[in-house]
Structure 1
Amino acid sequence: MSTDGHLVIVGGGLAAAKSAEHLRLQGYTGPITIFAGEDHLPYERPPLSKDYLQGKSEFDQALVHPKQWYALNHVTVRQGASVVAIDAVGKKLRTSAGATVDWDTMILATGSAPRRLPLPGTDADNVYSLRTVEDSTAIRGHFGLDQRLVLIGGGWIGLEVAAAARLAGTRVTILEGAAQPLLAVLGPEISPHFATLHTDHGVDLRCSVKIAEVATRHGKATGVRLADGEVVEADAVVIGIGVAPQIELARAAGLKTENGVLVDSTLQTSNPDIYAVGDIANHIHPVLERRVRVEHWATALNQPAAVAATITGQRTEYAELPYFFSDQYDLGMEYIGYAPAGSYDRIIVRGDPSVREFMAFWVDARNRVLACMNVNIWDVMDDFKALILSRKGVDPAKLADPSVPLGELL
């Protein structure tokens, strides 16, 4: 493949910026253009629900690269320029401003968009989802001792926003449709510990609830009406019911899509000149031996190195294990591996969840470790990876025993 043609990156987040970075590091000499839909340089999103939301960091600290990096590396960033159509055969794209641009190679890094809640009142001025820095800034404006914040959804974003709001003294209610927050992600053995974490910090957590509408007055939300008629009063509402991969451009361009953009183990799409990275990439994982699509920061951070290597002539499979992290109050956690519902037999816990220092292991019927989580226990990631990658069964009793070093389990 040519390394001097015009390479375009559609999307303006972490995956886009890292793709440009690794292309230059790996010798790509041609022009690179990033089409960023937002009026910002590419930035990382985790701070939006963590340090930036809490007022602990400035937005500039979330930028992937400072402005001068793009100039020094001859990377053009078209801020506020969305791509609205892709001609995969003629190798042209059209922007929201009506411009037509020729390209030779393309990387799709369009990310995800918050799922909408199809109920009355969700279009009120003070109803938010969290995806952009403007969203985070607006939500933070409703923090304070005299403020009432209602969160619809008890997933990672909802819980992190709840923690940030409570740390600022805000009165917080979480409305979750499932029996526990994070139930689909962590299972019934682990999710209750996160529920307790929040109720211990004063959150009004309501599970198994059904929502009828967002109550409004004069175009502003005043609360959330439940199916039983009760109204949970609010000065602002945040909807966090998950995200959906933005694959409309890919589908319209004729690329194969199914739960994201279908790519091979090198992140190449059904068109050999187009690649996909980040949230949208549904890729064949060479280690897990199945298709995987992961909506987390580490994927956007790590996939670009592999795709840049392939584009510059060194075919590289993306084999990193899925990873994510979360910070809530004084709890920090990391999770690595892949254990969707139905794939594991049971969860083995090591340590004491009641003091929020423990590990959890998702194992299959052959006692093979599929995924691991550490809570307020650090420097165990290498051992976790070794357990998962070994594909060997382990002794469940030893796995649960804190006196047995993880490195001795294999």
Structure 2
Amino acid sequence: MDRVVIVGASLAGWSLARSLRSAGFGGAIELIGDEPHRPYDRPPLSKAYLAGDLDLEGISLLVPDEDVPVTWRLGVPAVSLRERTVALADGTSVTGDAVVIATGTSPRNLPAAAGLRGVHTLRSCDDADALRAAFGPGARVVVIGAGFIGSEVASTASKLGAAVTVLDASPEPLAPVFGSEMASVVTSLHALHDVTLLTGVSVAGFSSSDGAVTGVSLADGRVLPADVVVVGIGVEPAVSWLAGSGVAVENGVVVDAAGRTSVPGVWACGDVARYPSARAGGAIRVEHWTHAREHGAAVASGLLGAPVEYDPVPYVWSEQYGVMLQFAGFVRPGDSVEIVDGDPASHRFVAAYRRSGRLVAVLGARIPRTFVRLRRELTAA
């Protein structure tokens, strides 16, 4: 193998490139990215970068003085794949002995908001720059979606002095992740910081003036004034460019435990990949930072002839209103939950989830020692 083409220049793709080089791969690595920027960390986009506490250099994934020779092809999206040849938007193409799909995800949009100024999604540093310019003291911000991204953006907007309302169609936001009992503990952070959370509500449309959003209309007839709207209703795997490629796609690129797709010589890793998980009881697609880094490294091992059976315990963190939340594992309806340390009322606690007496997940806030101990137990199970 003399040439590896990586489509996707974010964490998973960069982790793959670094892992190949650290393992001694001396061939060519082509790294293709649809953004003009070299790899940077995305979690700060809704937090410290959005708040202006970090700049682009401060969130760079490149390590100073680390030598990772690659050929950069940035700001030119991939538009199609045929066997192991990637066609780019500028009319050029790149062929590799192996191609790795690491294109991640794209934020979902609301069609009713198309073309309206003041309506934002958040995926890139450029998105965050536009949002930061819109936030400010007294700005009326409506966040649609009370998941991780929506809640983190609400937290940052509140910190910057905006008046924030968060909407969610579910009566219990985050319940699919944390279960009903602990989800209510997490979402209670909004009220403690004077952020209004409206649950079980549907967005019917938007009001506007001269092409700029002025309000969010709810299905129950209410209209919420808004200078800024942030749509945080989840993401979709970035796979449209794979149409006609023969690569199997079903809620992401379907891969085996080593990261191989249905097309010989084509692999996938990170948020875009859907892989088999014995821990989860079926195929899953994970959208967490730790997964992107670890999956990129695992696929690199397979490319070099030492495939690994990738099936870790998922881990995610979220910082909201100064509280660091950490979660590992899988929660299903019917799992029992027990507070094993601290007090949820103070948002300083560790909760253990069990299924038939077996530890299956752990959620922690501001007690890292207990959380780490239980996470190790969970990983070893």
Q: TM-score, normalised by structure 2?
A: 0.95
Residue type of the alignment partner of 2:103: T
Return 184-193 or 30-39, whichever deviates more: 184-193
Q: How far apart are 1:319 and its partner, in Å?
A: 3.2
Q: Mean Cα displacement is larger for which, 315-324 or 50-59?
A: 315-324
Q: Distance in 1 between matches of 2:65 and 2:90?
A: 25
* CA deviations over 1:305-352 (Å, ceiling 9, x no partner): 11111111222222321110011112111111122x44x522222331
Please say if 1:241 is aligned against 2:233.
Answer: yes
- The answer to whether residue 191 in structure 2 is matched with residue 225 in structure 1 is no
Higher deviation after alignment, 223-232 or 212-221: 223-232
Of 331, 335, 347, the match for 1:345: 335
Once the two structures are TM-superposed, the CA of residue 289 in structure 1 deviates from its matched residue by 5.2
Q: Which of 54, 68, 89 does residue 73 from structure 1 map onto?
A: 68
Counterpart check, 1:83 vs 2:86: no
Q: Equivalent of 1:379, from 363, 369, 379?
A: 369
Partner of 1:395: none
User: Residues 355 and 381 of structure 1: is their aligned pair in 2 closer, same or farther, counting only changes over 3 Å?
Assistant: closer
The 2-side partners of 1:251 and 1:284 are apart by: 23
Partner of 2:116: helix, strand, or coil?
coil
Residue 35 (structure 2) pairs with residue 42 (structure 1):
no
SS in 1 for 2:73: strand
Deviation, structure 1 residue 167: 1.0
Note the C-alpha offset of 1:288.
4.8
**Aligned mate of 1:144, from 136, 144, 169:** 136
* Equivalent of residue 370 in structure 1, options 360, 371, 375: 360
- SS of match in other structure, 2:143: strand
Q: Supply the distance in 2 between the matched residues of 1:121 and 1:377 (Cα, whole angstroms).
A: 41
Q: CA RMSD in A?
A: 1.8
SS of the aligned residue for 2:113 comes to: coil
- Which position in structure 2 is the counterpart of 1:179? 171
Identity of aligned residues (%): 36
CA distance in 1, matches of 2:88, 2:208: 37
Give how far 1:188 is off. Answer: 1.2
Q: Is the 8 A contact 2:5 2:94 kept in 1?
A: no
Specify which of 23, 26, 43 is matched with residue 26 of structure 1: 23
1:113 alignment partner, one of 101, 106, 118: 106
Q: CA deviation at 1:101?
A: 1.9
Of residues 347, 350, 359, the one that matches 1:356 is 347
- 3-state SS of the aligned residue for 1:252? coil
Task: Give the conservation status (yes or no) of the 8 Å contact 2:350–2:370.
Answer: no
Counterpart of 2:299 in 1: which secondary structure? helix
Q: Is the 8 A contact 2:168 2:201 kept in 1?
A: yes
Aligned-partner Cα distance in 2 for 1:110–1:355: 39
- 1:251 shift after superposition: 4.7
Structure 1 length normalisation: TM-score? 0.88
Tell me how far apart the structure 2 counterparts of residues 180 and 288 of structure 1 sit (CA, whole Å). 22
Q: Deviations over 1:28-52 (max 9, x none)?
A: 1110001110011111110101110
Q: Deviations over 1:53-107 (max 9, x none)?
A: 11111111211116975xx43201111011101111xx32210001122211011
Contact map agreement 1:173 1:204 (CA 8 A) in 2: yes
**In 2, Cα distance between the equivalents of 1:75 and 1:286?**
35
1:399 alignment partner in structure 2 = none
1:357–1:266 CA distance, 2 compared to 1 (3 A): same
AA in 2 matched with 1:308: A
Task: Please list the CA deviations of residues 172-218 of structure 1 after superposition, one character each: whole Å capped at 9, or x if unmatched.
Answer: 01111111332222221011112221111000111111211011111
Query: Aligned-pair distance for 1:387?
Result: 3.0
Q: Paired residue for 1:9, among 6, 11, 15?
A: 6
Name which structure has the greater RCO, CA cutoff 8 Å, separation 6+. Answer: 2
1:166 aligns with 2:161: no
Equivalent pairs, count? 380
Distance 1:173 1:382 in 2: 34
Show structure 1 runs of 5+ residues with no match: 392-410
